[in-house]
């Protein structure tokens, strides 16, 4: 391996220490404990694992996580009523509705029902719009956690050298690809967004100084696609059968071969994933500031 390993686990741990200190300061100076309501509908086992990890992390940092669990039979209007109740509860600073929701509930309507100042996932149309217009970004406002965490890792790795570079984002979801492209644009990258209908992806990838893979296809990005020296951010989380017959977590990038040509690369696991949870905490601190009239913390 010649690429520098971008250690998301270490970066997230350091970031979490800073946020725990900010939470302690808010408590001491203003008697405010950042509080996030975690809403889980149904019994999807992967969602339960993600929710438990998020709650553990926020509690360790001195935040409050309040659990709202409902059976899969909850109707869309009942869920929206629950969100509305949380919107009006002044003790709740952030609302996180865990996805995926049961098939009979339209996620867009639920996300749109969350008050923008409590939208700690940064996915509401209002907050997506603020990112698009540049009002929100790396240093301010509620921005989608996974791309924000990916961007923080890139900034740590590249610093001011990001300006003017060619960036390729593979994936255009509202959750990752689109906000990632906006964050890169704010850093003065020249951004291309690719998707399943893109022609000749390897040709686009070959000229990218930065390649972000948010596809959901195990190890799709191969060595011969990647420009030598490029920074590669792998957002993908896919289950694959290992040689020992057990399933293992892999990214969208073929890590072993790509790390031989890339300049820097995130591993899976231990790359973007830990930063996602850390950014949820960052957003909860910002949400607490937005609702209490305090200045946004410098974190």
Ligand X SMILES: NC(=O)c1ccc[n+]([C@@H]2O[C@H](COP(=O)([O-])OP(=O)(O)OC[C@H]3O[C@@H](n4cnc5c(N)ncnc54)[C@H](OP(=O)(O)O)[C@@H]3O)[C@@H](O)[C@H]2O)c1
Residues labelled catalytic = 54, 98, 121
Describe the crossing of helices 8-30 and 272-292 by its angle, rounded to 10 degrees. 20
195 makes contact with ligand X (CB under 6 A):
yes
Q: Is 197 in the site for ligand X (CB under 6 A)?
A: yes
Q: Segment near ligand X (CB under 6 A), from 31-39, 61-69, 108-116, 192-200?
A: 192-200
Q: How many helices (H) and strands (E) does the chain have?
A: 10, 11
CB 171 within 8 A of CB 215: yes
- Closest distance of CB 81 from ligand X, Å: 27
- Tokens in use for 82? 């629950």
Distances (CA, A) of 153 to 66, 136, 276: 29, 18, 11
Q: Kindly state the number of chain residues that form the binding site for ligand X, as judged by CB under 6 A.
A: 26
Taking the complex as a whole, the smallest distance from the CB of residue 67 to ligand X amounts, in Å, to: 21
- Contact positions with ligand X (CB under 6 A) in 212-251: 214-217, 220, 235-238
Under 8 Å between Cβ of 152 and 275: yes
CB of 30 to ligand X, least distance (A): 31
179 binds ligand X (CB under 6 A): no
Q: Which of 176, 208, 279, 289 binds ligand X (CB under 6 A)?
A: 176
Residue with tokens 């709740």: 92
* 282: Cβ contacts below 8 Å, ≥ 6 apart: 15, 19, 148, 299
Q: Least Å distance between CB 171 and ligand X?
A: 4
Binding site for ligand X (CB under 6 A): 146, 170-173, 175-177, 194-198, 201, 214-217, 220, 235-238, 272-273, 276
């Amino acid at each position: 391996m010649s690429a520098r390993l971008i250690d998301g686990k270490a970066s997230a741990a350091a970031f979490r220490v800073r946020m725990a200190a900010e939470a302690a300061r808010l408590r001491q100076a203003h008697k405010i404990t950042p509080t996030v309501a975690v809403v889980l509908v149904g019994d999807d086992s992967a969602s339960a694992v993600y929710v438990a990890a998020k709650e553990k992390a926020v509690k360790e940092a001195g935040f409050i996580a309040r659990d709202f669990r409902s059976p899969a039979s909850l109707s869309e209007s009942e869920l929206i009523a629950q969100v509305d109740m949380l919107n009006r509860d002044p003790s709740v600073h952030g609302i996180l509705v865990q996805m995926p929701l049961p098939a009979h509930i339209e996620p867009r309507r639920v996300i749109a029902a969350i008050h923008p100042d409590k939208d700690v996932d940064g996915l509401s149309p209002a907050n997506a719009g603020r990112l698009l217009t540049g009002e929100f970004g790396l240093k301010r406002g509620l921005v989608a956690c996974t791309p924000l965490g990916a961007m923080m890792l890139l900034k740590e790795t590249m610093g001011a050298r990001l300006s003017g570079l060619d960036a390729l984002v593979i994936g255009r979801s509202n959750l990752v690809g689109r906000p990632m492209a906006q964050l890169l644009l704010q850093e003065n990258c020249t951004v291309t967004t690719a998707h399943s209908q893109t022609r000749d992806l390897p040709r686009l990838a070959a000229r990218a100084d930065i390649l972000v893979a948010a596809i959901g296809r195990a190890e799709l990005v191969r060595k011969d696609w990647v420009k030598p020296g490029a920074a590669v951010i792998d957002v993908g989380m896919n289950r694959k059968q290992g040689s020992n017959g057990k399933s293992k977590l892999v990214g969208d990038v073929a890590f072993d071969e790509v790390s031989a040509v890339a300049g820097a690369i995130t591993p899976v696991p231990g790359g973007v994933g830990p930063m996602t949870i850390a950014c949820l905490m960052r957003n909860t601190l910002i949400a607490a500031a937005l609702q209490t009239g305090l200045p946004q913390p410098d974190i």
